[in-house]
């Protein structure tokens, strides 16, 4: 996530300030938990007016209150619980007692863990991810467009920085559309509450970690959404923000302690320079500003060295997986987080959910920078991050260079070859998420100057290279624009709102050119979904020759040959050079035309990518 345009206000940089009346017992989080978790320890955060003046009583078989922590702010208690293997699902009272006053009681529930096979199943190179912003995709429930008590009221579709009314119900209404397109996993930008006064529709200024934003729906609806996805064979990715928190959260308005966030004598932004984290020559000051500086005046930088912050975040993320059964996490602004905590976090989460997928957002400029953040890089880092994958921005840049650049030794089409040749830096490059654009970037179609041949070639490369491909909503219908400002690339999906002039969820609502793009992507995505060689097969690439880049994806059952002609003229390719992988095949099936063609000499149109399934010689 990049820096967002938000209304600038002063941040809390010193002292604890109670800015709102706190009820006697405002909340207990996590609100409930489960028996049978791998980690028997649980820390509850309790928020209520002068709650620290009360003693705590808890009696339930298999559960022991091991410690009660009082902190700087008397409106908080942190309760350490031990949940033994003998504990059974049930509800029990937690009493907060003070002589002369009525007891406060919270009825705490332990639930039984789900063991359904399709929960927390992981997102892998077999999948194709569709990224969308829920506020901008589809409005399925107009009744939640204006929610009383929220700081930003109503919807204003004529403003790129206001809320437009999209919601979870709207996404659920179009899951079959995604299934038909060939998508296998859905990633929403954060859907939990962002109750900021303006421009928080993007979801990255969290104000309630345990609550779906009411303008999107409810916790129960989110759970139903995950179940609906799983019934259709779609997986669900949840977007997490470890680094920062919205300043209207109760945890900021009435902070438990000064060290809950990073404090500065005056407001200090991060320098946004990930290089200092890995630079052996970096100054301590630069590194501190990078890691501890705030992302925005509305996004307080959490102090991940604080053990209470660590427990709070980790338990919240585990809670969502167990509650809803999601399949993977995308970690926002990964380089800005405390490395030691993030390594511990990954271990704690994967201990509970071994198949759950995790990948971090690392919008950096080199393969080495990306590899630095990945798990297994112990020699260079002195720690194992246990991070399986990253958002592979370097492959993205290489694809654009191949599509738009001028041919050179490592420029133009040669860039892809050079970047993939550095895959030795990764423990497993197939766990990286490759993409062409997202909610922070100029749209793919605009980046190739609305050239249909380049558009198709870019998609062909995306869905046939190694890794987990991800697309951004609307790319399939040629949505366009540049990201200055970001709101321009976050337009509403046409047809997602009642009364929209065009409904581009249907073929009748799309133009001829839009249907051409949609059908191209659908054909390619569904072919990939049914072709293991493109999912888990090996990759062999050949040095580009005369502007033509050739690579193969193959397993024991099938070999797919991909040929990209980067030049502005048609070329004939003599394929005997590639006999190492072609073997004795003389023919291949073009996956788009389904025609059988002779591959001894291939005619490759300008700026075009051929995807050919080789037919073994008889």
Name the residues annotated as catalytic: 332, 361
* 167/201 Cα distance (integer angstroms): 11
Q: Which residue, chain included where needed, has tokens 């060295």? A: 305
DSSP symbols for 291-350: HHSBSBTTEEEB-TTSHHHHHHHHHHHHHHHHHH---EEEETTGGGS-HHHHHHHHHHHH
User: Within 13 Å, how many C-alpha atoms sit on residue 2's CB side?
Assistant: 13
Report which of 191, 204, 196 is spatially closest to residue 237, judged by C-alpha positions. 191
Q: Tell me the two tokens of residue 552.
A: 């193969």
Q: What 8-state DSSP symbol labels residue 258? A: G
Whether 337 and 346 have beta carbons less than 8 Å apart is answered as no
Query: Residue 197 CA to chain centroid, in angstroms?
Result: 24
Cβ-based burial of 481 (10 A; exposed 0-12, middle 13-18, buried ≥19): middle
CA–CA distances in Å: residue 472 to residues 183, 187, 416, 455, 489: 11, 10, 21, 14, 10
3-state SS, residue 119: coil
Q: Tell me the two tokens of residue 370.
A: 């990306």
Q: Tell me the two tokens of residue 336.
A: 């800005």
Length of the chain, in residues: 618
CA–CA distances in Å: residue 40 to residues 84, 175, 345, 534: 6, 37, 16, 41
b/e map 508-535, b = 16+ CB within 10 Å? ebbeeebbebbebbbebbbbbbebbbbb
* 540/553 Cα distance (integer angstroms): 7
Report which of 485, 480, 432 is spatially closest to residue 199, judged by C-alpha positions. 485
Report which of 70, 182, 73, 87 is spatially closest to residue 126, judged by C-alpha positions. 182
3-state SS, residue 61: coil
Q: Tell me the two tokens of residue 571.
A: 């070329």
* 90/493 Cα distance (integer angstroms): 45
Q: Which residue, chain included where needed, has tokens 């209150």? A: 65
Whether 436 and 377 have beta carbons less than 8 Å apart is answered as no
Which residues share a beta bridge with 235? 185
| Stretch (H or E) spanning 396 | helix 393-404
């Amino acid at each position: 996530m990049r820096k967002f345009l938000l209304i600038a206000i002063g941040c809390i940089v010193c002292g604890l300030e109670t800015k709102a009346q706190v009820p006697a017992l405002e909340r207990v989080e996590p609100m409930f938990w489960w028996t049978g978790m791998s980690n028997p320890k649980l820390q509850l955060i309790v928020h209520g007016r002068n709650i620290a003046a009360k003693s705590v009583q808890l009696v339930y078989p298999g559960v022991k209150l091991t410690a009660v922590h009082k902190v700087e702010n008397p409106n908080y208690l942190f309760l350490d619980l031990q949940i033994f293997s003998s504990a059974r699902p049930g509800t029990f009272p937690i009493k907060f007692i003070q002589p002369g006053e009525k007891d406060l009681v919270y009825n705490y529930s332990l639930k039984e863990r789900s063991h359904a096979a399709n929960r927390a199943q992981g997102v892998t190179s077999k999948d194709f991810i569709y990224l969308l912003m829920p506020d901008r995709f589809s409005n399925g429930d107009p009744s939640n467009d204006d929610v009383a008590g929220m700081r930003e009221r109503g919807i204003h579709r004529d403003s790129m920085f206001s809320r437009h009314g999209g919601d979870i119900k709207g996404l659920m209404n179009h899951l079959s559309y995604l299934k038909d397109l060939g998508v296998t996993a859905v990633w929403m930008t954060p859907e939990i509450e962002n109750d900021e006064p303006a421009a928080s529709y993007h979801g990255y200024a969290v104000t309630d970690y345990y609550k779906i934003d009411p303008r999107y729906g409810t916790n129960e609806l989110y759970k139903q959404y995950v179940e609906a996805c799983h019934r259709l064979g779609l997986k669900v990715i949840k977007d997490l923000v470890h680094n920062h928190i919205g300043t209207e959260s109760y945890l900021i308005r009435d902070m438990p302690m000064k060290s809950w966030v990073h404090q500065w004598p005056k407001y200090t932004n991060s320098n946004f320079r990930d290089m200092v984290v890995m630079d052996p020559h970096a100054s301590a000051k630069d590194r501190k500003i990078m890691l501890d500086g705030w992302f925005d005046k509305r996004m307080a930088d959490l102090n991940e060295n604080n053990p209470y912050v660590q427990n709070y975040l980790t338990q919240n993320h585990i809670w969502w997986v167990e509650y809803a059964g999601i399949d993977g996490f995308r970690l926002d602004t990964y380089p800005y987080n405390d490395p030691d905590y993030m390594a511990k976090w990954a271990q704690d989460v994967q201990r509970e959910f071994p198949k759950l997928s995790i990948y971090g957002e690392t919008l950096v400029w080199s393969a080495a920078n990306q590899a630095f953040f990945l798990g297994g890089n112990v020699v260079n880092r002195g720690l194992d991050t246990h991070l399986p994958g990253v958002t592979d921005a370097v492959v993205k840049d290489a694809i654009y260079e191949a599509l738009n650049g001028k041919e050179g030794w490592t420029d133009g089409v040669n860039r892809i070859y050079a970047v993939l040749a550095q895959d030795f830096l990764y423990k497993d490059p197939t766990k990286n998420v490759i993409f062409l654009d997202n909610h922070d970037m100029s749209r793919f179609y605009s980046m190739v100057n609305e050239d249909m041949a380049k558009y198709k070639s870019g998609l062909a490369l995306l869905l046939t290279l190694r890794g987990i491909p991800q697309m951004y909503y609307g790319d399939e219908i040629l949505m366009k624009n540049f990201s200055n400002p970001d709101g321009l690339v976050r337009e509403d999906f046409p047809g997602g709102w009642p009364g929209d002039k065009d409904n581009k969820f249907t073929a009748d609502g799309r133009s001829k050119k839009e249907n051409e793009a949609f059908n191209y992507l659908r054909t390619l995505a569904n072919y990939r979904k049914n072709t293991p060689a493109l999912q888990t097969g090996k990759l062999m690439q050949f040095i580009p020759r005369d502007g033509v880049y050739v690579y193969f994806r193959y397993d024991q059952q099938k070999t797919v040959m991909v040929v990209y002609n980067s030049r502005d003229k048609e070329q004939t390719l003599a394929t005997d050079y590639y006999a190492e992988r072609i073997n004795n095949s003389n023919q291949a099936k073009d996956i788009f035309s389904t025609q059988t063609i002779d591959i001894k000499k291939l005619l490759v149109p300008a700026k075009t990518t051929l995807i050919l399934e080789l037919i073994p010689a008889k």
